[in-house]
Amino acid sequence: MKLFADTEKRKKFMKTGLSSLLTIAWTPIIGVAVAAIVGAPLAELLGWPVTLGLTAIITLLLAWLFLKLFQRTGHRFSRDSR
């Protein structure tokens, strides 16, 4: 891999950076799912401005939880089994 000539730098990126990239990539998908599930009922009860705010908060909370999950599983799979 030309980006990481040193294997230790590559391992460090895989432990920290890859989980962050996965979270960033999954955030729009989480947002669409939250809006589809929660958006219509909340919009009828509270109106669209409040619904958009709550949807954004729920999306960021779920993205943070996914980040923690990706970090935890990344450390589990990145250990050397040799």
Tell me the DSSP string of 57-80. Answer: HHHHHHHHHHHHHHHHHHHHHSS-
- Residue 3 gets which letter from DSSP? S
Assigned token pair, 53:
């705010």
Higher-confidence position of 8 and 25:
25
- Domain boundaries defined on the chain: 22-73
Contacts of 18 (CB under 8 A, 6+ apart): 70, 74
Flag whether pLDDT at 79 surpasses 60.
no
Flag whether pLDDT at 35 surpasses 50.
yes
Residue range 56-68, pLDDT digits in tens: 999 999 999 988 8
Task: Give the residue-averaged pLDDT of 48-62.
Answer: 95
| pLDDT confidence band for 76 (50 / 70 / 90) | low
Higher-confidence position of 60 and 15:
60
CA 54, 28, 64, 41 dihedral sign is positive
pTM of the entire predicted model: 0.72
Max CA distance (Å), the chain: 57
